[in-house]
Amino acid sequence: MIDRYGDYFTLQTLDQGMDRAKSEIVSCLQELFAPKGIVERNDVPVRKRELLPLIAGVLAGEVPDRVPVKMNGLQLLADLLHGQKTGIFLDQRENYAAAARYAHGRALDCFTSTGGFALHLAAKCEMVEGVDSSETSLKLAAENRADNGIGNIEFKEADVFDLLANYASARRKFDTVVLDPPAFAKSRGNLDGAVRGYKEINRRALQLLASGGVLVSCSCSHHLSESALLEIIAEASLDTNRKLRVVERRTQSQDHPILLTVPETLYLKCLILEVV
């Protein structure tokens, strides 16, 4: 997989076949795009299954600590060598803009990382609270907030499970809640535990939502299908006695191709629902 950040590229070769072609891929990128730098983010645990080492480093050129990119009119910083995924969650780009179409009032962005959803929602909301357990990601989120002159986002370091439970007990209310957790189901084997995790956060989010509120609920686990996620949210809505209308059923951005004969390529679900 190759992600492009302006003049810089990140590369992941996750199996033996692609890994063997790494230097040819680098040469092709140099010939076609003459990039300033190419990074490999091969520090992905799935490589261990193919007996490949976990490595992250510069393959060509030079790469600054933070690469500035424009996304949907915002200025964002990407840490290509150490950031989560390959720096920014580029697969959510179109979903950020979609969520902003419905967001309003007081918003809670759970699992905010470097602030992707929060920064996009800020212009449409009275205030946004962005929560993540990664201090490093939140530092970048705060820099993004400052670079875009945004004054109505508060970033908080916390465990989302604990925070949602505390907010629900305190009867806190929000008009928009975003859930973009890490892949709870990393394999088919731990699907049961993952389903419990998704159910828990969706149930809590619904408890926090005011009437007319908007839930943006994502899952990047290929092993959890869209219909399974819809079923989980339906059960959560029955548990919490909230009636939900599906507003949009979305997936990854168009530049992350879905190949019908490679089902793993369809992995991201982003459901937008309204409490009616």
Ligand X SMILES: C[S@@+](CC[C@H](N)C(=O)[O-])C[C@H]1O[C@@H](n2cnc3c(N)ncnc32)[C@H](O)[C@@H]1O
Residues that bind ligand X (CB under 6 A): 84, 89, 92, 111-114, 116-117, 132-134, 137, 159-161, 180-182, 220
User: Looking at the DSSP assignment, which residues form a beta bridge with residue 22?
Assistant: none
- The whole-angstrom separation of Cα 24 and Cα 9 is 14
User: Looking at the DSSP assignment, which residues form a beta bridge with residue 110?
Assistant: 131, 179
Comparison of 29 and 250: residue with beta carbon closer to ligand X: 250
Residue 220 appears among annotated catalytic residues: yes
Comparison of 30 and 134: residue with beta carbon closer to ligand X: 134
Which of 110, 125, 218, 220 is an active site residue?
220
CB of 110 to ligand X, least distance (A): 7
Buried b (16+ CB within 10 A) or exposed e, 212-225: ebbbbbbbbbbbbe
CB of 204 to ligand X, least distance (A): 12
Comparison of 182 and 263: residue with beta carbon closer to ligand X: 182
| DSSP 8-state assignment for residue 7 | T
CB of 109 to ligand X, least distance (A): 7
- The whole-angstrom separation of Cα 126 and Cα 192 is 37
Comparison of 42 and 113: residue with beta carbon closer to ligand X: 113
Comparison of 156 and 188: residue with beta carbon closer to ligand X: 156
- The whole-angstrom separation of Cα 201 and Cα 168 is 11
| DSSP 8-state assignment for residue 97 | H
| Ranges assigned E (strand) in the chain | 2-5, 8-11, 37-42, 55-61, 67-71, 74-78, 106-110, 127-132, 153-157, 174-179, 209-219, 244-250, 269-275
* Contact in structure between 77 and 144 (CB atoms under 8 Å): yes
CB of 258 to ligand X, least distance (A): 18
CB of 2 to ligand X, least distance (A): 19
Catalytic positions, please? 220
